[in-house]
Structure 1
Amino acid sequence: MVEAPEDLPHAFAAAWMARDAGALARLCTADADFVNVVGLWWRDRAAIERAHHYGLTTFFRNSELSVRRVEVRRLGDRVAVVHARMRLSGQIAPDGTVAEDRQTILIFVCMRGGEGWQAVAVQNTDIVPGAETHLRDGDGFRPQDYR
């Protein structure tokens, strides 16, 4: 059970490192929403568990996820928004090599209930150094800086 909202990102990283998709999903309410870095949207705990089980047993099986910074904005006694800057290393690329490290920001909208603090919504966003937005062209998305 997560006792404080600022502990939620650390519990997420611990479940990730244990490759325990069930524990990771239980950090979310039964009807939680989770949007990953490419916009895949999982609409409940079971879908969140299935998606993370797949990733944690394939291309993320050797990865390491660490929490770098956590900021909490309480919206009352039972509701908080948590921003967590995370670092991911060890992802396996499609050709079998190890991809370069990346940083993300996870946003947890969470509430306190009988099972402690749980996320009702999670959004994962990649940090792209030197970019302000993405452009889409015939080759897909690419980072863009207008400065």
Structure 2
Amino acid sequence: MVSAWDAGDAAAFSEEFTDDATYVIYVGLVYTGRRAIEEGHVPVFEKWQKGTRMSMLVREIRFLGDATAVVLTEGGIGKRTIRRDKVQTYTFVREADGRWRCTAFQNTRKNSLFIRMNALSSPRP
């Protein structure tokens, strides 16, 4: 996914998803299906995020059997400095050909004010 994003390649990016995947971005827009994910990313790569790169830090991988995994990441996109200002949840499935593809994606923008407020109000160990 990162390589496809960095290349600005909507077709390659969408190939990382199942045919019936759901893809939810932080503003609440939902794409359903690989074709919609590809079509939705063409203007992203040609206009809104042209020339950006992706940074992804995997925080947790949880296997829910031999063919399903939930992956929690922190990530972001940018041209020079890339802040990991979002949290993503991916659900991957192993398809019949043995390849892992994402079947569900949720992206949430971090809110630094609420994160600080929560840290201040949480009990200290």
The TM-score bracket by the shorter chain reads: 0.7 to 0.9
Matches within 5 A, 1:1-147: 12-90=1-79, 101=83, 103-113=85-95, 114=97, 116-131=99-114, 145=117
**Letter of the aligned partner of 1:105 in structure 2?**
V
Q: Number of paired residues?
A: 117
In percent, how many aligned pairs have the same letter?
29
SS at match of 1:65: strand
Looking at structure 1, the residues matched to 23 and 42 of structure 2 have their Cα atoms a distance apart, in angstroms, of 14
Normalised by the length of structure 1, the TM-score is: 0.71
Instruction: Mark the runs of 5 or more structure 1 residues left unpaired by the alignment.
Output: 1-11, 91-97, 133-144
Write the deviation string for residues 7-35 of structure 1: whole angstroms up to 9, x where unpaired: xxxxx111100101111111110011000
Query: Alpha carbon RMSD of aligned pairs, Å?
Result: 2.1
SS at match of 2:48: coil
1:109 to partner: Cα distance:
0.6
Looking at structure 1, the residues matched to 23 and 54 of structure 2 have their Cα atoms a distance apart, in angstroms, of 17
In structure 2, the CA distance between the partners of 1:82 and 1:102, relative to structure 1 (3 Å rule), is: closer
Structure 1 runs of 4+ off > 4 angstroms?
none
Q: Is the 8 A contact 1:68 1:87 kept in 2?
A: no
**Letter of the aligned partner of 1:63 in structure 2?**
T
**Letter of the aligned partner of 2:27 in structure 1?**
V
SS at match of 1:108: strand
